[in-house]
Amino acid sequence: MLEEKVRKVIRDIPDFPKKGIIFKDITTLLNKGDLFSEVIDYFAKKYKDVDFVCGIESRGFIFGSAIAYAIKKGFVPLRKKGKLPYTTVSEKYALEYGFDEIEMHIDAFGDVKNPKVLLVDDLIATGGTAEAGVKLIQKVGGKVVAAAFLIELTFLDGAKKIRELGIEVDSLVKY
């Protein structure tokens, strides 16, 4: 089963980036080409009918762009404030220690009207970043059909926040 194979290769790093946090290191998945391909194929098969894939900086770029490539659709990066070169829209979101902000280009979907969008990131924890991503996509006229994550930290209830927005949440591995 894919979930178990992925779970076995994800490495826990205690006290990173700060004491008390157990960081889920996905580099141990990325360097296993066959397994990484299986993960991309899993999501690509399920979401082949979307118009665009949006990936959240930075590990969402890895998974999102690979999925977009596999389904031959456009990829749209959602970046930290100040990193995109053209006119953007932005959305702030809360962190446990303050606020952050992500942006996307106002013309990210080109001439496509009401595009169906898959939102992708490596992990969902509290859901703040994913919620901001949903709001950004909606601001420029997109409809998020699903949010896909490699990992979900269920004890933090972030997926519930996204589901309450009426969006399907697909998490391959749950902790």
Task: Select which of 3, 11, 96, 164 is catalytic.
Answer: 96
Separation between Cα atoms, residue 93 and residue 108, nearest integer Å: 21
Task: Select which of 59, 91, 103, 152 is catalytic.
Answer: 59
Burial letters for 70-85: b for 16+ Cβ neighbours within 10 Å, e otherwise?
Answer: bbebbbbbbbeeeebe
Alpha-carbon dihedral of residues 110, 112, 116, 119, nearest 10 degrees?
A: 0
59 counts as catalytic:
yes
96 counts as catalytic:
yes
Strands 88-95, 98-105: pairing kind: antiparallel
List the catalytic residues: 59, 96
